[in-house]
Amino acid sequence: MNPRLQSLQPYPFEKLRSLFEGVTPIPGLAHISLGIGEPRHPTPELIKRALSENLAKLAAYPPTVGGDALRRAIAEWLVRRYALRAIDWKTEVLPVNGSREALFAFAQAVLDPSRSDAIVVCPNPFYQIYEGAALLAGARPHYVNATPERGFAADYGSAAWLVSARQFQVCA
């Protein structure tokens, strides 16, 4: 068993669920869910139709790197959305089933477990997988705050000392 499992924090939504046990909402006030963020709207008809028309394809795994059309569409969207230079969909796009899986795998692939000084820079507040992936890979998370003064953008410049101290390995 990985001894680093002991360093993981409880999943925040499980902790939140336990905090709400026995709590009765005040009648007349609208409920604001702070839960896991599941979809709140019905699935659009075009998606339902596309799924039903392609059910036969569920018996086969897609290519590991995803389909060419999907990867091209993702690259084109990234260029439009973020005003980026051209994205090479063949080498720079890898579709995943969820960000947790990808972020965890990325940390395990790029962090060197033989380095006792490895540090992963994480925004704060953060997506819990940043911390968990770093800890399980043997790195120490370093948190940079996302503050109202910065428009809630993480101040990665505040971690510049890591680069000068040659302790920096991965920036989340």
Find the Cα–Cα–Cα–Cα dihedral 89, 93, 97, 101, rounded to 10°: 170
Question: Is the Cβ–Cβ distance between 103 and 133 less than 8 Å?
Answer: yes
**pLDDT surpassing 90 at residue 45:** yes
How far, in Å, CA of 71 to CA of 81, rounded? 15
Residue 165 has a pLDDT of: 58
Residue 38 has a pLDDT of: 73
Over residues 82-93, the mean pLDDT reads: 93
The closest of 37, 36, 31 to 17, measured between CA atoms, is 36
Residue 113 has a pLDDT of: 79
Residue 20 has a pLDDT of: 83
Q: What percent of the chain has pLDDT over 90?
A: 30
Residue 133's contacts (CB-CB under 8 Å, 6 or more residues apart) are: 103, 104, 106, 107, 108, 120
Residue 79 has a pLDDT of: 96
Residue 164 has a pLDDT of: 62
How far, in Å, CA of 48 to CA of 44, rounded? 7
pTM to 2 decimal places: 0.63
What is the largest distance, in Å, between two alpha-carbon atoms of the chain? Answer: 57
**Other CB atoms closer than 10 Å to residue 16's CB: what's the count?**
13
**pLDDT surpassing 50 at residue 171:** no
Lowest mean pLDDT among 58-72, 81-95, 126-140, 153-167: 153-167
**Over the stretch 93-148, which tens digit does the pLDDT of each residue have?**
999 888 888 888 888 888 887 888 888 888 888 888 889 999 999 898 999 998 89
Q: What is the three-class DSSP state of 102?
A: helix
Mean pLDDT of the chain: 85
Confidence of residue 172 (pLDDT cuts 50, 70, 90): very low
